[in-house]
Amino acid sequence: MSDTAVARFGGVTKVFGGTAVVENVSFDVRPGRIVGLLGRNGAGKTTSLRMLLGLTRPTSGRTTVFGMPYAELPHAQRRVGVSMDGIGALPGVTGRRDLSIWARMLDLPASRVDQVLEQTGLAEAADKKIKGYSTGMRQRHALAAALLADPELLVLDEPANGLDPDGIRWLRTFLRSLADEGRTILVSSHLLAEVEQTVDDVVILQRTLRYSGKLADLTADGTESLEDRFFELAGTGTAGGNGASTHA
């Protein structure tokens, strides 16, 4: 594993009620890469992200961001942008108002709110209440909030959910532009065809780690589909399958 990892999972296990939902998972997220965390619903993706962000304590193992646990990372809220269920907008406010509150909490200039509204295509809806937003608009708003502090690392949990085809295409291009600027993006998803067009590296999780490495290596430079390789490694059911395959 690289010593320059932006995020690292080291032998992480999480047990709920006597059942391991994540078991002995180790992988690195390398700088400047878009990394797709893939798995079925219930595979442990969100639990893994929550452990990385200090929202859930691992039963064993350790996660780090920029070399230290998230809770110990100086200026963590500025360095890491997060879009995840449970880290949502304030009720009953407009999109602009919600982002303004977050900006003040992060000691950011008010101009930053307008910038992220433009970036995410929400400028025209900025003064509408979030409760009236479509699912896709809520996703864009969550991304705008994650981008407020211009973070080095973005952690996005299923950001394409609720987006229409135009929105998904926009998201793909947008994430690539952020990575091209030097940011690192860890994005969970179960939309395999879309991920195949977006990410540099792939982590396949089905409770245990099934693969961690470059997308090109997994798909033999595109001669095999990500979907086929996913089912080979994760199995065709909700349990079972082969052991982990890890590549540098």
State pLDDT tens for residues 5-48: 999 999 999 999 999 999 999 999 999 999 999 999 889 999 99
Report the share of the chain in percent with pLDDT over 70.
Answer: 93
Strands 7-16, 19-29: pairing kind: antiparallel
**Residue found by looking up tokens 């809520």 in the block:** 138
CA distance 242 to 154: 30
H-helix or E-strand spanning residue 147 = helix 135-147
- Find, among 120, 145, 122, 143, the residue nearest to 133 by Cα: 122
pLDDT of residue 240: 40
Residue 201 class from Cβ within 10 Å (0-12 exposed, 13-18 middle, 19+ buried)? buried
With left for phi above 0 and alpha for psi between -120 and 50, is residue 227 left, alpha or beta?
A: alpha
Listed as ranges, residues in the chain with pLDDT below 50 are 1-3, 238-243, 247-248
Name the token pair of 75: 């200026």
Query: What integer pLDDT is reported at residue 235 of this predicted model?
Result: 85
Strand partners, 80: 153
**Residues forming beta bridges with residue 188, ordered by sequence position:** 37, 157
User: Which pLDDT belongs to residue 61?
Assistant: 98
Beta strands in 47-151 (DSSP E): 60-65, 80-83
Please, are residues 229 and 38 in contact by the beta-carbon 8 Å criterion?
no
Supply the pLDDT for residue 133. 93
Residue with token string 């590296």 = 201
Q: What is the pTM of this model?
A: 0.90
Whole-angstrom CA distances from 32 to 52, 101, 248 are 18, 29, 15
Distance CA 232, CA 53 (A): 30
The pLDDT score that the predictor gives to residue 86 is 67
Q: Are strands 184-189 and 153-157 parallel, antiparallel or unpaired?
A: parallel
